[in-house]
Structure 1
């Protein structure tokens, strides 16, 4: 990643950071600027290639945007011109500005209709999570979060409306935390997760979703004890929804990674008790859903950690049965079940079984190969490096497939940057 010079103008640093925070390439930035133009401006814009050259020049600090580019940038980013082109530099590469929600003055001007539309769009983005590449969802989540924050910062609403805006802001920040983690960007994930918990507190609502997002981030950072404790805190304050099942399952997974099998079994039991106790249903495809296949995935992971491949394969069969019964097939969950089962077969020394499991997933579009998916292949590659597989042609073929799959995944994550 190219380091930014300390002597760049603040607005140049900000233009690049705002684009990168949304995971837009410079070509995508040009497209967004065209979309932001009205009928009077659009005919006067140059070719796409010329606009890309201008964007590069702006971000390098060679030229300062003038009319109409200042207004187009402001529209594309959802920011005011004054905020975007101010001279002082306060942009963080980890997006720490998301928690700097400025003080608001108690006035009324934001209608309930606007807030209702924000809530509906937030829910829609959550339900697109499973079937749209994370980089695209993140771009829309960040844009909506900035719009919500602008309303909060304006302070032109009643106290009741302010709390509802904080609740929406908390949901968007928690969702962004999950997406940044899926894209291997733990720094922004941490800051967004922390901000989500703060906003939930301001809203007077449960921080369970924020704690779930934070638990996931800490797991990828290798802080398994912190992850388990965050998930348990979330479970204790979660409403009776599928999120409660998810949090218990997350605690089980983190405890299993710690080697605490007793705690892992107890957490899995809590997840099952939550299901049996009756829960309000949701779409089954949001980041906070935990239908039977996803619950089975956590049981599979715990079984692998405990060195029990038979139990892992049984969990995979539970997931397959649930899909056959009509549960929504989320691509990431399906891929993880397959790769988890491949790990189980490798533990049993059955490389033919492992190859059968991963073969259907090899054509998965690279933009869906998020870290939660590829980590199972990292584990499988480590298992195939075992001495008993040395000299095995089947093992060598599997490892080559793994390298190709993960290489394409990393290329997809980096596609938001231009050379």
Structure 2
């Protein structure tokens, strides 16, 4: 609270001018919130995120920014709008999420930063994917890649990985194979950029790429020994909360994928073990993507020879009650 009061005081003192302290405070907030977003409950950072976005917009609308400051402000407004979009998506409101993403897209174009523009296309693909609009998800991922072929940051790998997941929802196995291979090839050419330096959701580490690749195989219904091994590797990769690549949502998603590949291979007890930590997550961490992933496990438990087993029935009942909180957060 004291830190927030100090920030508000400094911003108020420079309200008639755009000084170094104002820019510095906003830059620090962007870095902090970006790093914390995938690691803490949304309720812990939402108010600060909304305030920072509002401050960035206010400073841009004031007309007092110098050209260099204007570009920096648009950069920060893009990142903050990106995170606001992700937050709305995590609360299950894809329409508000897409509106925030479009605001991020407008700001990104003002920066003339190809990586940032591509990042927003990736975000739109992600929102569409989890909203079960695979055609839109495919379109946005391809649009981002086609318009920014010279990218070398990890966003260049994220886009084909998003495309592969969308293709998997559509059952296009050939597209899944080719796009995952393209992502592997692009990984070898990565040169980390300023977005990767910010971290959080703005970078796409190798372990997250593996998680996406496994998910695309899961969506195609595959569960052979090789896929099981890769799914277990992905879960291990998200086992250390101190790792910069760790994110509670990716950890839960990787566990749901492992549960599914074990189920496909006939290992019902292994399925239960894999999904248990997800079901034990605190309600404040159960975002939309996690709930959808858990629901995929529930649906699969209702099919095939395992559906009448006691373990399968109990898990289906538990997952059916697994709902995220709907916090009264400012939109």
TM-score, normalized by length of structure 1?
A: 0.68
Kept in 2: contact 1:299–1:315 (CA 8 A): no
Change (3 A) 1:163 1:285: closer
Kept in 1: contact 2:211–2:254 (CA 8 A): yes
- Residue number in structure 1 paired with 2:120: 210
CA distance in 1, matches of 2:206, 2:228: 15
Kept in 1: contact 2:39–2:246 (CA 8 A): no
- Residue number in structure 2 paired with 1:118: 26
Equivalent residue runs for 1:164-183 within 5 Å: 164-183=72-91
The structure 1 residue matched to 2:209, chosen from 279, 282, 295, is 295
Change (3 A) 1:112 1:262: farther
Unaligned 5+ residue runs, structure 1?
A: 1-31, 39-74, 80-107
Kept in 1: contact 2:85–2:101 (CA 8 A): yes
SS in 2 for 1:349: coil
The structure 1 residue matched to 2:252, chosen from 335, 338, 342, is 335
Query: Is 1:260 the equivalent of 2:172?
Result: yes
Q: What per-residue deviation string (whole Å, max 9, x for no partner) do you get for residues 72-116 of structure 1? A: xxx8xx99xxxxxxxxxxxxxxxxxxxxxxxxxxxx931244224
- Residue number in structure 1 paired with 2:139: 229
Change (3 A) 1:330 1:284: farther
SS in 2 for 1:317: helix
Bigger CA radius of gyration: 1
TM-score, normalized by length of structure 2?
A: 0.85
The structure with the largest helix share of the pair is 2
Change (3 A) 1:283 1:167: closer
SS in 2 for 1:309: coil
Identify the range of structure 1 (281-290 vs 394-403) with the bigger mean alpha-carbon deviation: 281-290
Change (3 A) 1:391 1:119: same
Q: What per-residue deviation string (whole Å, max 9, x for no partner) do you get for residues 45-85 of structure 1? A: xxxxxxxxxxxxxxxxxxxxxxxxxxxxxx8xx99xxxxxx
CA distance in 2, matches of 1:209, 1:135: 24
- Residue number in structure 2 paired with 1:189: 97
Cα displacement (A) at 1:383: 1.2
Query: Is 1:369 the equivalent of 2:283?
Result: no
Larger relative contact order (CA 8 Å, sep ≥ 6): 2
Query: Is 1:131 the equivalent of 2:46?
Result: no
The structure 2 residue matched to 1:220, chosen from 114, 126, 130, is 130
Q: How many pairs align? A: 315
Kept in 2: contact 1:175–1:213 (CA 8 A): no
The structure 2 residue matched to 1:273, chosen from 179, 185, 200, is 185
Identify the range of structure 1 (145-154 vs 209-218) with the bigger mean alpha-carbon deviation: 209-218
Query: Is 1:389 the equivalent of 2:301?
Result: no
Cα displacement (A) at 1:366: 1.3
Cα displacement (A) at 1:259: 1.7
Change (3 A) 1:415 1:120: closer
CA distance in 2, matches of 1:156, 1:283: 28
Identify the range of structure 1 (254-263 vs 326-335) with the bigger mean alpha-carbon deviation: 326-335
CA distance in 2, matches of 1:218, 1:288: 18
Equivalent residue runs for 1:22-61 within 5 Å: none
Q: What per-residue deviation string (whole Å, max 9, x for no partner) do you get for residues 30-53 of structure 1? A: xx9xx9999xxxxxxxxxxxxxxx
Unaligned 5+ residue runs, structure 2?
A: none
Q: CA RMSD in A?
A: 2.9
